[in-house]
Amino acid sequence: MNKLTRDDLFSLEQYAETRSAFRDKVLEHKKNRRLDLGTNAALYFEDRLTMQYQVQEMLRIERIFEADGINEELEAYNPLIPDGSNWKATFMVEFPEADERRAMLTQLVGIEDRVYVHVADFDRVFAIADEDLERADDEKTSAVHFLRFELPPEQVAALKSGAALIAGIDHDNYRVEVSPVPDNIRKALIADLT
């Protein structure tokens, strides 16, 4: 997939003028990229458009307009754009009450390594978690992780030929499987693959 460059971004002034319409476009796009995994976890599959939105919002919030600052944001967010053989996702553990969330994060240590996708009759592909930095320790996990699902070519081909897609979590304290992944999400994810 093409990584973002400075040429792909709006200036702060341009973004101020187009932000509302661009935001609406991105929110509509994201409807096909969120997969709930039970009631307390979700995958937000990232792509070039979702990352452009993140970069634009960071530049706006931080009022960054100098080349070095823009390049730093691009370096931070470009790794979250799929490469054509994988999916990249933000994984969220979502408990609305802070006390419950703290307690559950201690019971869910290692959950980020137990999230998987499963194509038809192939083996599960477990996520590679937090390649940028460690977000968990032996005591608790984080509520946010960045995952990469690296798909072998035969699984990519099977998906493009109509194979079913399943996703889930296989952790001692949180087991869930979405079978099959809704078609709108499946189609959006197949578009990420080359």
User: 13-23: per-residue pLDDT in tens?
Assistant: 999 999 999 99
**Residue in 76, 82, 80, 79 with CA at minimum distance from that of residue 64:** 76
Dist. CA 150–CA 144, nearest whole Å: 19
| Domains of the chain and any CATH numbers | 1-31+48-81 (no CATH), 33-46+82-194 (2.60.40)
Give the pLDDT score at 1.
Answer: 57
Three-class SS state of 90: strand
Give the pLDDT score at 2.
Answer: 85
User: 119-161: per-residue pLDDT in tens?
Assistant: 999 999 999 998 876 666 778 999 999 999 999 999 999 999 9
Say how many C-beta atoms besides its own lie within 10 A of residue 167's C-beta.
26
Give the pLDDT score at 130.
Answer: 86
The answer for 84, left when phi > 0, alpha when psi is -120 to 50, beta otherwise, is: left
Segments in the chain below pLDDT 50:
none
Give the pLDDT score at 87.
Answer: 98
Give the pLDDT score at 139.
Answer: 87
